[in-house]
Chain A
Amino acid sequence: MVNVLSCLLKRKVTADVLARDDEIEALGQEIRREVDAVFGGSLAIRELDTGSDNAAEIEINNLTNPHYDVERFGITFVASPRHADVLLVTGAVTHNMAAAAKKTYDAMPSPKFVVAVGDDACTGGIFAGSYAVLGGAEKIVPVDLKIPGNPPAPKEILAGLLALMRQAGKNR
């Protein structure tokens, strides 16, 4: 009771988070412009892991931390492929994930884009040729852009998304 009361009455805690990075800000402004021009104000991304070592997921997740906070630039991560413009594929495609990966792609509305994130998704990486994988993402879905890296840093993923939007804008 006392605890509840003290929680109600005490000063609310907030804290400034000092996390700004000029390079990211500049990149973000460019992304914002492309998102507005090409994707009507918001770019909806669905992440699909087909067999990564989880490092690429961590970096994609990091895009939402306060240092990057990409929602500011019009990028949102959506829970369903039915809401997505872009599919970010990470990892070599394993046999065990192939069917689910294909279904995820098929569930997306057109026009849709696929970006392979990380060496394994680009080419199969060190797992190319293994009994358990098909290879890179292009073995099951058409890939529009590849972002190499082991894994690519958040900044590189953002630069990749910018390149994708510019390419999409030109092809319209």
Chain B
Amino acid sequence: MAAEERREKQAVRELLGAGALSERITEGCNGEWYLNVSEPEFLPLVTSLAARECALIGLFCTEHFSPGAPFSLLYVFEKKGILLVVVLDTAQSAPSIARLLPSACWPERECRDGFGIAFLGSFDERRLLLHETYPDDYHPLKKSIGNVPPTMKSSVEPSGEYPFRGVLGDGVYQIPVGPVHAGIIEPGHFRFSVIGEKIFNLEVRMFYKHRGVEKLAEGRLPVDVVRIAEAVSGDESVANTVAFCIAVEKIAGTHVPERAWALRTILMELERIGSHLGDQAGMLVDVAFPLGASQFAVIREEVFRMNVILTDSRFLRSMVVPGGISRDIRIEDLEALRQFVRQVRKRYRTGLKIVLSTASVIDRFSPTGVVRRSILRPLNITGPAARASGGNGDVRIDHPYGIYSQNPPSVRTLHDGDVLSRFTVRAAEILDSLDLIERLLNCLPEESVRVVFEAKDGYALSLVESARGQSLCWIWIRNGVVERYKVRTASYCNWLALEHAVQGEIVPDFPVINKSLNLSYAGTDL
């Protein structure tokens, strides 16, 4: 263990280059490294990290973190196996790095809305979380602002409406869609600029569902935040709760029993299967192939019913808690799961064969909605969407948690980056998850599933691979309660992939491209 730590420290030092900076790194609770920098050091460091192919996977603000500084900005950089958190203390402003690292664009706007931080040289000063009716100069994530509704503006002048990026010119017209869509989907606004039938530009406007998840967690005991973590995004309840629990457990030094981890892993993989199945069924509905869609929708409903047998919840809720899981699963229910996995695998393969041998489906799926590999790192595109475009990142392998280091999944990488690739990557992952569940069921350790959890003060960063990709969570506990809860789900990053994937496509292909990225609005808007 100590040798591994030294090796990791060496790797971080190499990343930072020779000099005083690399001497100042300190290790966090969960293997992440922290580095406090002054403002003059900041831009050269970020430039060099960008040049060394680090991805900026998170950027958020917190108050009174460093002694004497009102605000601290935490920039999370990732490179295979290494997590470096650069901490920049500030009174009220910081240089914008969104031109250098485009994945900083939304988070900078978020920090501006939440805390009133000014980002100097930023190219996008529009509000993000807070729409037009919120009062001016209102920054709800500041500690001095209570968690109560502000006095909203009763009406908005046309000049105060959100300025979409205008794409003008002969023959370019705009199609505004949403926030209320035609189907049973979550709200968001899509502004298409179209020439003829081809999409020239798409701008996505989100945060209609901004419901104040992060602030809601503040001042609560960690055990009480589980319910909030589950509400980040319904179909990622387990993943986001596990991310939260890992962070608080690492801070407290809690050793979660192996059996609890095995069961948590089974739940996480079941959630992945359910999410991928729903997504695949949706993609097939969008290309008008109900035969295939029904096959997958039927299996998905059965997965939900299996979830009830195992956990009394169709969304696997109230199971994952700090210290393990809330209750063991009965042996006969685990046996039922084993049988279920076997028969589902067979039926899933049959369904898959029908779909992939249907010319009309392939014709619509390929080569539609290509996400180019070159945007993966700049925008931190993650999960199956990235793996379908030549990416090979997977938190379960790059930063293994729980028992994934003993049970690493195979990385399913395809290179076309189109809807078909995303469909196929998910298909492979469903089969892998079924295999993993079966393997775990065969060697479940016999022990308790929960240890006493006692919260301790501190902070930690955790990453989890949800069905949609890398989910980031940063927790700071102070005086036994949550001081700051930062969540950044995979969807938050991948929305920008959608803007790129639809360029040059026709408007009628938008639904299937959107579905193939399977984005959660709730998980983005928080």
Contacts and interface: CB of A to CB of B under 8 A. Distances in A.
Given A53-B522, A126-B227, A96 B147 contact: no
Contacts of B525: 96
A98 B210 CA distance: 12
A106 B182 CA distance: 16
A100 B180 contact: yes
A77 B525 CA distance: 25
B297 interface: yes
Interface string B500-519: 00000000000000000000
B20 interface: no
A65 B211 contact: no
Interface residues of B, number: 60
A113 interface: no
Interface residues of A, number: 53
B210 A129 contact: no
A19 B133 CA distance: 47
A49 B185 contact: yes
Nearest to B228: A126
Interface string B220-241: 0000000110111111010000
A116 B402 CA distance: 39
Q: What is the interface of chain B mostly: helix, strand, loop, or mixed? A: loop
A54 B301 contact: no
A61 B296 CA distance: 14
B208 A94 contact: yes
Nearest to B178: A100
A126 B225 CA distance: 11
Given A98-B133, A131-B140, A54 B149 contact: no
A96 B294 contact: no
Nearest to B318: A150
Given A54-B186, A130-B216, A92 B211 contact: yes
B187 interface: yes
Contacts of B130: 96
B163 interface: no
A58 B185 contact: no
B278 interface: yes
A3 B354 CA distance: 14
Interface of B: 130-131, 133-134, 140, 145-150, 152, 179-180, 182-187, 207-212, 215-216, 227-228, 230-235, 237, 278, 281, 291, 294-295, 297-298, 300-301, 304, 314-315, 317, 350, 354, 357-359, 520-523, 525
Given A54-B233, A55-B235, A132-B140, 10 more contacts: A3-B359, A17-B294, A19-B298, A51-B211, A53-B231, A77-B184, A92-B211, A96-B130, A97-B179, A97-B208
Interface of A: 3-4, 7, 13-15, 17, 19, 47-62, 65-67, 77, 79-81, 91-92, 94-101, 104, 126-127, 129-134, 150-151, 153
